[in-house]
A and B are shown apart, each in its own frame.
Chain A
Amino acid sequence: MRSPRLALGTVASLAVAIVLAGVTTAGAQKRGGTLRVAYGNEIAGLDFHVTPGYEMVWVATNIGCGLIGMTPEGKFVPDAAESWTISPDGLLYTFKLRKNVLFHDGTKVDAAAVKFTIERIMDPATRSSMRSFMDSVQSVEVLDPHTVQIRLKQPYAFMLHMLAAYRMGLVLASPAATQKYPPEDRRAGKPEAVVGCGPFRLVEWVKGAHLVMDRFDKYYEPGLPYLDRVMIRTIKDPVTQMAAFKAGEIDFIADFSADHVDTLRAQNPRAQIMTGKETTPMVAMMKVTVPADGKPPMAKERKPHAIFNDVRVRKAVGCYGIDRKEIVKIAFKGSATPWVGIIPPGTLDSVDVTHMCPYDPARAKALLAEAGYGPQRPLTFELMTNTEKSVFNVIATVIKEQMARIGVTANIRLVDKVSWMNVATQDGPFDMYVEDLASLLTVDQNTYLSASTASWNSTRHIDPKVDEYYVRYAREMDPVKRKAIAREFQEFSADKLYWNMISGSPFYQVAQPWMKDYVYQAEFKVLYKKVWLDR
């Protein structure tokens, strides 16, 4: 009962324009060696169900295994589950588990472990970032040691997507290790506590120094992985990353700065530079409501934001007043896609509604005048961005310049990432912010960032119609009808501009020519299982 059309649709989000020098070389794989990897940011912790950050996800998907996986083409493939069925009403998912899958502590991956893991994620006390995606799950039943059944409250079209690839997907946890060690030990990366069933086992994590994973010899897939060891270091500065790459000190950069791609290419003509469709949105969000009494944060009683609650102003500033092509040309050297809507261009069921927001300063000025702004009453707002990526500041600066063209003053406030996160999540004061948010596999995955009730709904719109679109989309099992809902939703989004996208945000990975059989899957997965070294 797998949905081939759904799977095919995912091609749009994951089909990659891979520039791979070392393509698959069947039968020639060499065993052994250490893969030296550079991350641009620190790993925040190693409790896979709880710790935030892509760097942790890229570790989790190698130490952990799940029920199912997903190929870059969007096809669902077995992992610990060798097969699965879905009931005709879409409410029962039954997974048949392999009998030879072991956790790194030697215990078996069985139906009880699957039930334990899902229930751990669903337990509010765990504070799992996957919890909101499990809202549809009613119960998990162990039918026999190797068969587990998940019962849903209502049909959920993205159940398999969620299990396979929302954040790191469902990463199974060893009940024995999880119960034996407290959450602090997992967060701290104690190897005995961080027990998965993936191709690599954790040897050591020293924050700020390295993370080391060794081959798990009892991994269920015979002969895999090929590598003896993966050693991950954090190198934050792109210049140092390039130097280390050029000198052959590292084999793979998991997240390379788009600004430096041309330089790296010129220095290393044989490097494998990988990128694909943009699945991360670059946004210029406008605050829609504020707490009615000014405090406390997140108050349910709302009042309109003084500037951007007026849709005419939102459209003047965010739609007609922003020249997306110019931003992309300056900030991304043309390598991103100008885009409008609620999901980026590479996400499943994304529809191009950019034509709804053509750059039209005259129209922007007219709308502003209609809303009461003009030379007599000039519009001034605060444009916040953060220091995490230099491109944010570049975009903010270009927007400031574009605003000046329509008689609007945007005052840029540059803050650090944590300050931005506090403001964005805690209903803090801002008028507009520039950021790139999470990578999105599906429209549904964006719920936690933009539904009216979501904690990360940083613009604080209160329009229930957005929530209705999400519910309709997630429960519609017919892909054609779902696509139609997605189109309608994106047109609605471009019209209301609760979510103001500027463009996609390109993502790059870089590998040495001797690193073979790595498959680019954007931020979603970084898997070393089939990688080998031809040095």
Chain B
Amino acid sequence: MRTYILRRLLQIVPTVLGITFVVFLMMRSVPGDPVVSLLGDAYTEEDAIKARAEFGLDKPIVVQYVIWLGKLVRGDWGASILTGRPVLQDVMIRLPVTLELIMLSMAVALVIAIPAGIIGALRQNTWADYSATTVAMIGVSIPEFFIGVLLLLVFSIGLGGFLPSSGWVYLPGTCPTMVCGSSLWGNVTHVLMPAFALGVGRAALLTRLLRASMLEVIRTEYVTTARAKGLAERPVVFKHALKNALIPTVTVMGLQVGFLIGGAIVVETLFAMPGLGTFGIDAIIARDYQQVQGFALITALAFVVINLLVDLTYTFLDPRIRYS
């Protein structure tokens, strides 16, 4: 097991480097560079040439990447071309917001998907199944921003500010800046709508997946045997059937992290949250190459680490699975 984890951790390095290199190339291929934004009204071609040289943007792309990598190895994530702010510092300020959003949206998805998927499978072709399937279809079909706007209209505008529309309040003791709000209740009220907007689409997908897995598992021989031995329905479903049916669901959950990060860009922008999603999209729009690299690096790391954790949970769900 330890060897397996070590091997997977080592695999992270080329994966992340590959991703950052591809992102590096893609950003340099997009028209426009950050120098025009940097100089603004004062733009002159002469100053632009000087600024490009100053930031090393006149060097060949591969050389630029090697320079970035060299700094990264020394723990230097670089500084924003536009603001001069250290990228790592900004990433660390924003990471907790997005992590909490993603975890809670996944929790929202599971809270909806597990009972709906089980009911759908156990009551196949009944009104309960049709309802779960229909809701799942609707959930998959509605984009995050639309659900978010609906939530805003109902809970912030319609109910006179019942839930805050925007911003962020940190969990007590986690405020990363000099000035910020921190309280448990404030945090919960701020994350509720964004997590629901982001999680409901995943819930729909996981419901359909879990229903299909459950249908397959409850028809297997070992489940029939368990029932024949006189086990009550609840342990049959939850102890025997669900654990096995969850394996493909957990796999998809890990893969969904990428979609959640993408969805976080939309949801964080809508709810004006100071998370990594808004950081990433602002950086891309402004062609702030250093910030884009920081965003790509942290999201790639998050994605591969979470998928490693997902793989490790297989051993809990199915003890027959052993890594060596």
A132 to B47, CA, bound (A): 14
What range describes how many residues of A lie at the interface?
35 or more
Neighbouring B residues of A179 by C-beta, 8 Å: none
Please tell me if the beta carbons of B149 and A416 are within 8 angstroms of each other in the complex. Answer: no
Please, what's the 1-or-0 string for B271-295, where 1 marks a CB less than 8 Å from any CB in chain A? 1101000110010011100000000
Q: Does B178 sit at the interface, judged by CB under 8 A? A: yes
**Contact residues of B between 151 and 193, Cβ < 8 Å to A:** 152-153, 156-157, 160-161, 164-168, 177-180
A421 to B165, CA, bound (A): 32
A36 nearest CB neighbor, chain B only: B167
Q: Does B226 sit at the interface, judged by CB under 8 A? A: no
**Contact residues of B between 240 and 293, Cβ < 8 Å to A:** 269-272, 274, 278-279, 282, 285-287
Neighbouring B residues of A380 by C-beta, 8 Å: none
Please tell me if the beta carbons of A249 and B157 are within 8 angstroms of each other in the complex. Answer: no
Q: Does A149 sit at the interface, judged by CB under 8 A? A: no
A444 to B285, CA, bound (A): 32
Q: Closest Cβ of chain A: how far from B265's Cβ, in Å?
A: 12
Q: Does A456 sit at the interface, judged by CB under 8 A? A: yes
Please tell me if the beta carbons of A233 and B272 are within 8 angstroms of each other in the complex. Answer: yes
A210 to B97, CA, bound (A): 14
Please tell me if the beta carbons of A249 and B179 are within 8 angstroms of each other in the complex. Answer: no
Neighbouring A residues of B41 by C-beta, 8 Å: 52, 129, 167, 438, 448, 456
A184 touches which of B33, B34, B79 (Cβ 8 Å)? B79
B39 touches which of A52, A267, A416 (Cβ 8 Å)? A52
Neighbouring B residues of A234 by C-beta, 8 Å: 272
B163 nearest CB neighbor, chain A only: A247
Q: Does B119 sit at the interface, judged by CB under 8 A? A: no
Q: Does B31 sit at the interface, judged by CB under 8 A? A: yes
A419 to B44, CA, bound (A): 17
A455 touches which of B45, B153, B157, B178 (Cβ 8 Å)? B45
A217 to B90, CA, bound (A): 30
Please tell me if the beta carbons of A235 and B272 are within 8 angstroms of each other in the complex. Answer: yes
Please tell me if the beta carbons of B82 and A45 are within 8 angstroms of each other in the complex. Answer: yes
Q: Closest Cβ of chain A: how far from B164's Cβ, in Å?
A: 6
Q: Does B37 sit at the interface, judged by CB under 8 A? A: yes
Please, what's the 1-or-0 string for B44-70, where 1 marks a CB less than 8 Å from any CB in chain A? 110110010000000000000000000
A246 touches which of B43, B51, B86, B156 (Cβ 8 Å)? B156
Using known A-B contacts A129-B40, A246-B156, A418-B286, determine if residue A233 contacts B32 with beta carbons closer than 8 Å.
no
**Contact residues of A between 126 and 145, Cβ < 8 Å to B:** 127-129, 131-132
Q: Does B85 sit at the interface, judged by CB under 8 A? A: yes
Q: Does A298 sit at the interface, judged by CB under 8 A? A: yes
Q: Give 7 CB contacts A-B under 8 Å.
A: A127-B47, A129-B40, A207-B90, A298-B45, A421-B37, A425-B43, A448-B41
- Other than the given A210-B179, A421-B36, A426-B45, 16 more pairs (CB < 8 A) read A52-B41, A128-B42, A129-B42, A187-B84, A212-B178, A237-B269, A237-B272, A239-B149, A243-B156, A244-B156, A246-B156, A416-B32, A421-B37, A423-B31, A455-B45, A456-B43
For the complex of A and B, 4 pairs with smallest distance between CB atoms: A52-B40, A247-B161, A243-B165, A209-B274
